[in-house]
């Protein structure tokens, strides 16, 4: 037992120290950053923030028109290289093909931000059309498999890189009317944690992992969703700008987890003891959720 408790106490005190003393930002100038679902919403904001810090930007999105518009805007406002590639991340062969283009035309990706996602919130699970359930799983989790397969081997060979999973609080808590979405986000978090463990066993400490779990953001995906309690509320577009700084700060400080807002940490602690009440408190009203039947950026 002592061989278990001693390391546990060391890690606990180390975590407490890191909480009080924030590590310095790492330099991302010249790093190649790939953001999926980058045409709009949170993906666009994260890309823009990293571009301000000198990173080369590679933008992926299934919406070619919106992607080109965003790329043009960022090229006009940022003094960095910006590349745009239309890509359906749910299709393995398309991910691999586009990844090879990026490697030839831009270089080796060193920061991968998996942000693209879809949601079907209009139905109960038994009512949801099979094709929408399948799409949710392919975009929200299977796409992570293919992007990691495409870019992680080069990171491993260089022992340098950063894997960023933009998940959701739905990967920590169940939500009413969003069974397939929550399943995909739980899977995304588990996948990211598993790969982080693999890298640690392989002694590839130069490759970092950051998992971000924001509450519902009032973009196209969750527009109009509200909760019954003030402890959590849908993140507005205005607040979104602040959230992107928190997310980029977590990446630059190489934090493993970031929950937004901070009240989610409290709910996570409470969940162990009062599961049903906590889950009910933060779950959105089903009638307010949209059904997104095309691929959307967050």
**pLDDT over 90 at 177, yes or no:** no
Neighbours of 47 (CB within 10 A): 29
State pTM to two decimals.
0.82
- Does the pLDDT value for residue 201 go beyond 70? yes
Tokens 């398309």 belong to residue: 94
CA distance 223 to 284: 12
Question: How far apart are the C-alpha atoms of 70 and 78, rounded to whole Å?
Answer: 12
Instruction: Decide which of 281 and 34 is more confident.
Output: 34
Q: Closest by alpha carbon to 87, among 161, 35, 40?
A: 35
Q: Which residues are catalytic?
A: 181
- In this model, does residue 82 exceed pLDDT 80? yes
- Of residues 165 and 262, the one with the higher pLDDT is 165
Q: Is 181 exposed, middle or buried (0-12, 13-18, 19+ CB in 10 A)?
A: buried
3-state secondary structure 120-142: ECCCCCCCCCHHHHHHHHHHHHH
CB 124 within 8 A of CB 141: no
User: In the 8-state DSSP scheme, what is residue 106?
Assistant: T
Pairing of strands 56-61, 161-166: unpaired
- Residue 12 CB: number of other CB atoms within 10 A? 10
Q: What does the pLDDT look like over 144-158, one tens digit per residue? A: 999 999 999 999 999
More confident residue, 270 or 212: 212
Helix, strand or coil, per DSSP, at residue 175: coil
Give the number of other CB atoms < 10 A from CB of residue 249. 14
pLDDT recorded at residue 272: 64
* pLDDT tens-digit map of 215-256: 876 555 544 455 555 445 555 555 566 788 999 999 999 999
Contacts with 135 (C-beta within 8 Å, 6 or more apart), sequence order:
90, 118, 120, 295
Tell me the CATH number of domain 28-288, given options 3.40.50.620, 3.40.50.300, 3.40.50.720, 3.40.190.10.
3.40.50.720
> What is residue 100's predicted lDDT score, i.e. its pLDDT?
98
């Amino acid at each position: 037992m002592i061989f278990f408790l001693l390391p546990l106490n060391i890690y606990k005190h180390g975590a407490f120290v890191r909480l009080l003393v924030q590590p310095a930002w790492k330099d991302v100038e010249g790093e190649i950053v790939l953001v999926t679902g980058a045409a709009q919403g949170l993906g666009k904001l994260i890309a823009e923030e990293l571009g301000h810090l000198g990173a080369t930007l590679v933008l992926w999105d299934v919406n070619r028109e919106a992607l080109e518009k965003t790329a043009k805007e960022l090229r006009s406002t940022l003094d960095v290289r910006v590349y745009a590639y239309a890509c359906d991340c749910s299709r393995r062969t398309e991910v691999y093909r586009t990844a090879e283009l990026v490697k030839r035309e831009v270089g080796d990706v060193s920061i991968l931000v998996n942000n693209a996602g879809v949601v079907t919130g209009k139905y109960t699970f038994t009512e949801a059309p099979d094709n929408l359930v399948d799409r949710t799983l392919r975009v929200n989790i299977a796409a992570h498999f293919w992007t990691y397969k495409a870019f992680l081997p080069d990171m491993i060979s260089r022992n340098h890189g950063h894997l960023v999973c933009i998940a959701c609080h739905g990967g920590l808590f169940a939500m009413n009317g969003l069974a397939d979405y929550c399943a995909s986000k739980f899977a995304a978090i588990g996948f990211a944690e598993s790969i982080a463990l693999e890298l640690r066993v392989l002694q590839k400490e130069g490759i970092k992992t950051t998992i971000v779990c924001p509450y519902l953001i009032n973009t196209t995906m969750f527009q109009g969703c509200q909760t019954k309690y003030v402890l959590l509320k849908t993140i507005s577009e205005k607040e979104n700008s602040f959230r992107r700084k928190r997310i980029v700060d977590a990446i630059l400080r190489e934090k493993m987890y970031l929950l937004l807002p901070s009240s989610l940490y409290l709910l996570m602690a409470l969940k162990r003891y009062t599961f049903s009440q906590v889950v009910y408190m933060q779950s959105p009203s089903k009638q307010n959720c949209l059904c997104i039947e095309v691929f959307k950026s967050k």
